[in-house]
Amino acid sequence: MLFNIGAGEFVGLAILAMILVGPERLPKVAVEAAKILKKLRNLSQIATTELKANLGPGFENLEPQDLHPKTFIKKQIADLMEDKPVTTPKAIQAQIDPDLL
């Protein structure tokens, strides 16, 4: 489900919240928690946008999960595997000048 929390655990957390906060204040606490989550989401979007702008061209499709070292290395290896192999130029064959013969 949400954050790997099952239905039973979610119900248990709801009951615990009702006991700790009380049924009268629970709606106010839920509204405040939603506001805080909304602010955090907005801050993360702003930070991601600023990071993309500061990194410059070539990073338009940057996602925060791409910054994880394991993901970064996998992506780089996959890009290298997709590239065409480098072809070496043909070696120059030595030729004898016909005037010397």
pLDDT tens digits in sequence order for the chain, 101 residues long = 456 778 888 889 888 988 988 888 988 988 998 999 999 999 988 988 888 788 777 777 777 777 788 887 888 788 777 766 656 666 677 777 777 76
Put simply, whether the predicted model's pTM sits higher than 0.85 gets the answer no
Residue 16 lies in a domain: no
CA distances from 7 to 3, 11, 20, 22, 31 (A): 11, 6, 20, 21, 22
Residue 15 lies in a domain: no
Range of the structural domain that residue 40 is part of: 24-84
Residue 13 lies in a domain: no
Q: What is the DSSP string of 43-100?
A: HHHHHHHHHHHHH-TT-TT--GGGGSHHHHHHHHHHHHHHSPPPPPPPPPPP---GGG
What is the tally of structural domains in the chain?
A: 1
Q: How far apart are CA 7 and CA 99, in angstroms?
A: 92
